[in-house]
Structure 1
């Protein structure tokens, strides 16, 4: 609960100072195995590439140094998980940054 309070105070200070609020996305699963199945090392690498800069699947595959077919499959799984979007053949992340952390179950982001 302490972490949630600290996060809330930090967010309130940014709002008071007129600072931009980073887009966040929290993905949670009841079973950690489900989370690990979606966020494999290869998919985390692709997601990090997409967060840094949106692009076409060809751009992303080249920047991630992986095969196009592999990138397509993994990006589709990330889209099904709700962390990337497609618009006019451009793939974008829905958040400004990615972190993988253990967050208290009582805490939540909206």
Structure 2
């Protein structure tokens, strides 16, 4: 159980670092990242301590938010897909999905 908690903390830390990278990327493009990173930060807080299935289901909510932005940013999509890969090896069984990669692909279909 402690090992899973440690993995979860590492994953959350990695996601926080990814959000920081997205903010820097947006700053470099002279965009205003505050609304994006604020909402992503709130989302990160909301998934701490959740099961893998709950995190996977929350992807739909963050995806819906990202789609409301005036300009959909590919780096945000990539950040979420990277996070899906981080939590994919979780030890618990996720009945609803084979793995989070499938969830990410369904949320971000390749056109």
Q: Same fold (TM over 0.5)?
A: no
Higher strand share: 1
Higher helix share: 2
Q: Which has the larger radius of gyration?
A: 1
TM-score normalised by structure 1 residue count? 0.32
